[in-house]
Amino acid sequence: MALREKSAWISFWTTLIVYGAYFAYVGQAAAAGRPVGFAGPLTTCIFVLVVLQVGLQIVMAALNREPRGPQDERERLIDLTASTHAFYVLQVAAMGAAVTVYFFDKTLMANAVILALAVSELARHGGVILGYRRAC
């Protein structure tokens, strides 16, 4: 497995787990009718995500035996294709988040925007993974 593919797997799973836990918390609080604080839980989520991704990337780089060189043409194409598809996902999700302003409060709209960003990042990392899987 290529180093950049391993990196995409790390980013995909950490994003899915951390934002999944965040939105599970937000969903439970909203279902229970409790006010959802925005700054504290989101700050914690971002902090945990950064620590996990940086730590796991460092461990992966330390255990890697092959040197990391510049991207070749195939890797650039995989990254570009994944980013293009993720941008389309972001556009659709952002439009969905914009609609929430008419029906819900500002906090829910802000969480919908964060969800749109998280889903588009998952789409990008998933696209990179699929690009490497198809090329192998």
Number of residues assigned to the chain: 136
DSSP 26: H
What is the pTM assigned to this prediction? 0.85
pLDDT at 5: 85
- CA-CA distance, 12 to 47, in Å (whole number)? 16
> What are the per-10-residue average pLDDT scores of the chain (136 residues)?
84 94 87 77 91 92 79 87 93 88 79 90 94 77
